[in-house]
Amino acid sequence: MRTRLPIAAACLAMAAACGGPGTPSAGPSRSASPGATAGPAPSGEIAASPEWRLVPRARTRPASALLDVAATGPDDAWAAGYERAAEDNEGGPALQHWDGERWKRVKPPPGAVRLTGVAARGPRDAWVVGHGSYGYAAHWDGERWTAYQPFGVAAEHFLTGVAVTKDVTWMTAHNGTRGQVVGWDGRRFRLAFQADGQFLGVSATGGHVWAVGTDAAGAERGSPMVWHGKAERGGAYSWQRGRTPDIPGGVLQAVWAVSPSQVWAVGTVTAEDGVSRTPLVLRSDGEAWWRVPLPVAAGVLGGVTALADDDVWISGVDAAHPGQVLILRFDGGAWTTSYGPLMRREQEEQQYPESDQVGRATIAPVPGTSRLWVAGAVGWGDDEDGFFLGRG
Structural domains of the chain, ranges and CATH numbers in brackets: 52-391 (2.120.10.70)
pLDDT band, very low/low/confident/very high, at 2 (cuts 50, 70, 90)? very low
What dihedral angle (degrees, nearest 10) is formed by the CA atoms of 79, 161, 153, 166?
90
In tens, the pLDDT along 14-50 reads 333 333 333 233 233 332 334 454 333 456 899 999 9
Among 84-93, 98-107, 331-340, whose mean pLDDT is lowest? Answer: 84-93
pLDDT band, very low/low/confident/very high, at 103 (cuts 50, 70, 90)? very high
Q: Is the pLDDT of residue 162 over 90?
A: yes
Half-sphere exposure of 378 (CA within 13 A, CB side): 23
Residue 247, judged by CB atoms within 10 A of its CB (0-12, 13-18, 19+), counts as: middle
Spatial strand order in the sheet of 358-365:
52-55, 385-391, 372-378, 358-365
In tens, the pLDDT along 223-247 reads 999 999 999 987 889 999 999 999 9
**Is the Cα torsion angle 129, 135, 139, 145 positive or negative in sign?**
negative
Buried/exposed 116-147: b ≥16 CB within 10 Å, e otherwise: bbbbbeeeebbbbbbbbebbbbbbbeeeebee
Buried/exposed 202-221: b ≥16 CB within 10 Å, e otherwise: bbbeeebbbbbbbbbbeeeb
pLDDT of residue 43: 62
Backbone phi, psi, residue 199, to 5° = -100, 135
This prediction's pTM: 0.89
Mean pLDDT of 118-122: 97
In tens, the pLDDT along 320-331 reads 999 999 999 999
Mean pLDDT of 118-135: 96
pLDDT of residue 383: 92
